[in-house]
Amino acid sequence: NAGVTQTPKFQVLKTGQSMTLQCAQDMNHNSMYWYRQDPGMGLRLIYYSASEGTTDKGEVPNGYNVSRLNKREFSLRLESAAPSQTSVYFCASSDLGRHNEQFFGPGTRLTVL
């Protein structure tokens, strides 16, 4: 099993450009999450999806959109990138039956110039 995979691993954008970060999990988990990690701030939840077909805002949703394409895939889209969105983005998945234990992907390092 690959667990949680993310693409791309690195990306550089110019201000105003758009892009989509991809995430997939093969653990048959119902819930998926997108976090951003910034120095000194830990991980902050951007959006999550409790199940296929549902999405909800987290702590820092502004400037992002998400799509739960199917049970395996959960994508994060930046419509018009801003320098404040320079960060490391992590996707995670969990199964409520395991008390929300989260399994993480390797991350995407995004720089917006």
Residues of this chain that interact with another protein (CB under 8 A) are: 4, 31, 33, 40-45, 48, 50, 56, 90, 92, 94, 96, 99-107
Is the CB of residue 49 less than 8 Å from the CB of residue 23? no
Closest approach of Cβ 15 to another protein, in Å? 25
Is the CB of residue 102 less than 8 Å from the CB of residue 93? yes
Closest approach of Cβ 4 to another protein, in Å? 8
Nearer to another protein, 17 or 109 (CB): 109
Nearer to another protein, 39 or 62 (CB): 39
Nearer to another protein, 56 or 79 (CB): 56
**Terminus-to-terminus CA distance in the chain, angstroms?**
36
